[in-house]
Amino acid sequence: RSKLEELGRKYGLFGDVFQRVGPALDGPIDLEPMLRELPPEIPQSSGERGSAALPEGSRLHQEARRLLAALPGLERLQAEALGLRRDAAVLDCLLANQRRMVGHEGLDRAVAQLLPTVRDAINAVRSGLEQVALPGASWDIPPPWREDAAGHVRSARRALEVLEAQHARAVARLVQIADQVEAAQGPGGG
């Protein structure tokens, strides 16, 4: 439930940002094709309206460009991490069953077979974050020990937490920047 509430909060923030720059839409959308199809004058006019409040080269402008550049990578990485989320949950369930049925060969084999998949997915998230993570807060993800199934679950959870935190931080900061630009433009909007 808390994950769903957090996800709802994140997409609410994203909706606020998108509502300021895009058309009114309801339901899931694929942004990349839609943004590619926008007429060139739309992004240009948006940039012209905000240019007085967010001049090219300003610290805020540079931060917004950096965040907007990182956001697609973070979102792609979140989609790619869905397998890690699923496999970590399966591994956690297997471990719970394994504690109740010590020595069950089928459970032991299933856990052993899943460890390399989870380890590879953790490494993929770590590698992806190295490419797109925002500077600032630490995002250490401890590597799991080779045969420590509980360590794999802990590392997977940490990787997913860091990824979610990075995405939420980028979206929240973009909303703050949009609010600052809107406030600087005054009630008339430019």
pTM of this structure: 0.65
Model pLDDT, residue 38: 54
What is the DSSP secondary-structure string of 75-136?
Answer: HHHHHHTHHHHHHHHHHHHHHHHHHHSTT-HHHHHHHHHHHHHHHHHHHHHHHHHHHHPPSS
Distance CA 86, CA 83 (A): 5
The pLDDT tens digits of the residues spanning 83-138 come to: 999 999 999 999 999 888 887 888 889 999 999 999 999 999 988 888 887 776 67
